[in-house]
Amino acid sequence: MATTTQVREVREVRTPSMSYARAFMGLFLRDLHVLRRQLGAFLVRVIMNPLLFLFVFTFVMPHMTNGAAMNPTAQMGAAGGGFGTVLLPGLMAVAIMFSGIAAVALPLAQEFGITREIDDRVMCPLPVAAVAIQKICFSAIQSMIAAAVVFPLAYYVPSTPVLAHVNNWPFFIAVLVLASLTAGALGLTIGTAVSPSQIGLIFGVVVMPITFLGCVYYPWEALKPLKWLQRGVLINPIVYMSEGLRASLTPTAHMPDWLILLMLSFFLVLLSWLGIKGFLRRVIG
């Protein structure tokens, strides 16, 4: 039978953990309530970009009758599918990336601003690093919702059938979770490394280049004629998001599965470390 001292020691160990869990969930539910109130704006932000790309590249261009010169997507279809098959995973990766950055970096720009709203968050009974982790986790939920919203668009907008189905559920779930967490970690890194007044500049200097060089609109294998570029884009985390979703959803040529999971895990750890370190510096320092 456990002595009174042993019971007290167990309670002392369990109480902080339970308190941290409740505080973590409290922050999570608070953010979920805010998201529910802004659901309309969130869906518009998520849908607009992939909808326009799908409409122009998979509906308008295939209907052009002036030859392949006016229809550059005609020669870019995947084996057994059209350009929409190539584009769908890339657009899902873009939705994940943009949602992750928008869910963390943009709110941080306001919270670190003149009002210092971040002080309210760090007053909860949680280690400061855990507050940063909560932001990454909640942004991952938004990124997964964004990816889920993009998926059905591919079946209604393109003029040619899109060949997409989950070939390997464990691999697909692993890629989706790792990609969503990595996007949130990137948002945390950007939000803590850049001053609030310059956060808008990041979208032109960082976000747009990594999107266009992230194998979103073409498979990584298609870069073989440009070896220097094919190797150079390997430092871009969105490449592995696009290739991972392409590998699990379409018959298109893609990177090896093990390399995709390895690099997504590497970028998640690296960006989380940089983001949490920057968060601690901005809050405590």
Question: What was the pLDDT predicted at 185?
Answer: 95
Question: What was the pLDDT predicted at 259?
Answer: 93
- Among 153, 38, 17, 146, smallest CA distance to 93 is for 146
Owning domain of residue 26: 9-64+78-284
Phi then psi for residue 166, to 5 deg, are -75, 115
Domain-located, residue 104: yes
Question: What was the pLDDT predicted at 12?
Answer: 43
Domain-located, residue 4: no
Question: What was the pLDDT predicted at 30?
Answer: 78
Domain-located, residue 155: yes
Domain-located, residue 93: yes
Domain-located, residue 125: yes
Domain-located, residue 108: yes
Domain-located, residue 1: no
Domains of the chain: total: 1
Question: What was the pLDDT predicted at 244?
Answer: 93
Domain-located, residue 72: no
Record the pTM. Answer: 0.82
What is the residue-level pLDDT of the chain in tens, covering all 285 positions? 445 444 344 444 456 677 777 777 777 777 777 778 877 777 777 777 777 777 776 677 666 655 444 444 555 554 445 677 778 888 889 889 988 888 888 888 777 766 667 767 767 777 888 888 989 998 999 899 888 888 788 777 776 677 778 888 999 999 999 999 999 999 999 888 877 777 777 777 777 888 888 888 888 888 888 899 989 999 999 999 999 999 988 877 788 899 999 999 999 999 999 999 998 888 876
Question: What was the pLDDT predicted at 275?
Answer: 93
